[in-house]
Amino acid sequence: MSESIKKFMFVNTKAPYGTVYALESLEVVLISAAFDQDVSLVFCDDGVFQISNNQNTEASGMKNFSNAYKALGDYDINKLYVEKESLEERGLTLDNIMDLTYEDEDWAEKPSIKLVTRAELADLMDEQDVVISS
């Protein structure tokens, strides 16, 4: 097998907490950082709720794992694509989404989140080597 870098895309389409997919997908993403691949994340459909602000699980007893998304930048995972149409259909804007950032090579803080249209997303998906959806 070639030792070249592969493009891995994790596509998150489901709301968090109602099912475990958001949490366990994030666990794969964090592990993938150790493999020096070209990793990107997509939040579309109900996946946009995974990175909504102010998640508070106190009264539900669920494990709040939303802070772990903030660690992605430290792992050099900084290509997080949010689908514009998915936000709109849910009455959301980028103000509802966590302010996720990373530090570039000059230690400047940059936004990790890129708003993309559905058509742009289709192009991005088309150029991946591995797509893991949930």
**How long is the chain?**
134
Q: In whole angstroms, what is the distance from residue 106 CA to residue 54 CA?
A: 30
What is the three-class DSSP state of 93?
A: coil
Please state the closest distance from residue 91 (CB atom) to another protein, in A: 3
Using the 8-state DSSP alphabet, how is residue 63 labeled? -
Residue range at the interface with another protein (CB under 8 A); choices 34-42, 74-82, 100-108: 34-42
Please state the closest distance from residue 102 (CB atom) to another protein, in A: 20
What does R_g of the chain's alpha carbons equal in angstroms? 15
Residue range at the interface with another protein (CB under 8 A); choices 61-69, 74-82, 100-108: 61-69
When asked if residue 101 is in the footprint of another protein (CB under 8 A), the reply is no
Q: Could you tell me which residues come within 8 angstroms of residue 90 by beta carbon, excluding any fewer than 6 positions away?
A: 46, 48, 49
Question: Contact positions toward another protein, by CB under 8 A?
Answer: 1, 6, 8, 11, 13-21, 24, 27-28, 31-32, 34-35, 37, 44-46, 49, 52-64, 66, 89-92, 96, 118, 121-123, 125-126, 128-134
